[in-house]
Structure 1
Amino acid sequence: MGLQALSLQGFGPLLAQGTWMTLKLAMLSLLLSLALGLLGATGKLSKVRVLRVPATMYTTLIRSVPDLVLILLIFYSLQLWLNDLTELMGWDYLEIDPFNAGVMTLGFIYGAYFTENFRGAILSVPAGQLEAATAYGLSKAQRFRLVLFPQLMRFALPGLGNNWLVLLKSTALVSIIGLSDLVKAAQNAGKTTNNTLYFLILAALVYLVITTLSNQVFKRLERRYNIGIKGLAR
């Protein structure tokens, strides 16, 4: 490749915009996944059947079907349901925004994986800790905030970090529903310049930088939540 190939060839803003879109998609999907994960873990550990069964079905179904298939199913199903609703109500046609669809889809998918993370972490917290908190008169909210959550995070963080990295890479799949993420931007730049390989390598390097920084963040979080645990807080 010549000197021209070793530049962004005017596609820097497009790649920067795609990178920002990828980060927004990943972060908002992560927040939704964490919320669904906590709810799902609570449901799976519940003694109430009406909560436990749907939560179990949710994680079983999601973890058994490929992410790409789920993205297509959820996106097009939502659009079809919305079309039926607008037709029934006599409203104007509404089209689902690809970004919002991407957040909902990835959040729903990875909420199942976070559910298992949190479920295993909650089970790892000694029951005596919660019994002691109850004996001291702490409310349910106080037990969760002061006793359960800090300890379950210590057990959950390694799995959460791994799932975050997988979720981040899965944002590339959302480009198939029309979202202009980093991968889509790299593909467009490559097609225009007839140098697809070069721009895909650039995209891969951007993902590498993001995942490297993410690993550092999770290492810091692990050190924080392992304070007081001999051999783990270094």
Structure 2
Amino acid sequence: MEQTLELLSLSPPGWGANLLRGLAASIQIALGAFGFGLIIGFFGAMGKLYGSPWVRDLLEVYTTVVRAVPELVLILILYYVGTDLINQAAAAMGRGPVQISGVAAGIWVLGIVQGAYSTEILRGAITAIPVGQIEAARAYGMPRGLMARRVTIPAMTAFAIPGLANLWLIATKDTALLAVVGFSELTLETRQAAQSTRAYFTFFLAAGFLYLMVTLFSGVIFGRIEKWARRGQPTHRS
């Protein structure tokens, strides 16, 4: 027990500080990717519902491909192909190689993946809005932007929160996949600590505990957001 506490202590020779630093990086990347994915998802959902036929077809290809291909494969493709295209564009403009930070690359890669799922979640939430609310807004002559801000977004939030809560948890766990391309997040820090001390069970159990704490805390936060979003709505009881 004493040896375990020593290994997990925040001061050397413990690795606790490394694990917390990795957790902070994972949460930072997950937050950025989740937000980026929401932006893509909102415009993607609007495009699927109200866009021209070629926009809808393009978005359908995007969401289908991302949801069909394993996320690890997508991460590898987006990371290596994306950085290569950026460097090729920089070379064409007569500039040297572009150094992309691990956090920015992680947000970009996971954000693209999150965007496909967000598109379908938000599209479903928009279609769940009672038609009368949209028709009433149009009858008042609201322009599309004002109607989205005052009617569509507030009404769809309650329907979208459960799916978005699951998507956030997926984002936090998907940061572990970034270890394969060398991002210093919780899983990579855990693996390095375990390899250095040979205490694999101790460190991976600690990492699992940290992920569990993030999940429980996130559940509380999203529960309150959903309660706020459903204020004024009738409560269905069995």
Q: Same fold (TM over 0.5)?
A: yes
Matched, 1:151 2:150: no
Structure 1 residue 28: Cα displacement:
0.5
Separation in 2, partners of 1:93, 1:133 = 51
Aligned to 2:178: 174
The two structures have a TM-score, normalised by structure 1, of 0.94
Moved over 6 A (4+): none
Structure 1 residue 141: Cα displacement:
2.2
Aligned to 1:51: 55
Query: What are structure 2's unaligned runs of at least 5 residues?
Result: none
Structure 1 residue 47: Cα displacement:
4.6
Separation in 2, partners of 1:15, 1:205 = 11
- Letter in structure 1 aligned against 2:229: Y
- Letter in structure 2 aligned against 1:223: K
Structure 1 residue 140: Cα displacement:
2.1
Whether the 8 Å CA contact 1:32–1:107 is kept in 2: the answer is yes
Over the matched positions of the two proteins, sequence identity in percent amounts to 36
Flag the 1:137–1:86 CA change in 2: closer, same or farther, 3 A.
closer
Query: What are structure 1's unaligned runs of at least 5 residues?
Result: none
Counterpart pick for 2:204 among 184, 200, 212 = 200
Correspondence list, 1:1-234, <5 A: 2-7=1-6, 8=8, 9-231=13-235
Separation in 2, partners of 1:133, 1:175 = 48
**DSSP-derived class of the 1:228 partner:** coil
Separation in 2, partners of 1:105, 1:218 = 24
- Letter in structure 2 aligned against 1:230: P
Residue-pair matches, total: 232
- Letter in structure 1 aligned against 2:102: P
Structure 1 residue 232: Cα displacement:
5.6
Flag the 1:147–1:82 CA change in 2: closer, same or farther, 3 A.
closer
Structure 1 residue 205: Cα displacement:
0.3
Flag the 1:147–1:85 CA change in 2: closer, same or farther, 3 A.
closer
**DSSP-derived class of the 2:133 partner:** helix
- Letter in structure 2 aligned against 1:31: G
**CA RMSD, aligned part only?**
1.6
Separation in 2, partners of 1:148, 1:88 = 43
- Letter in structure 2 aligned against 1:61: V
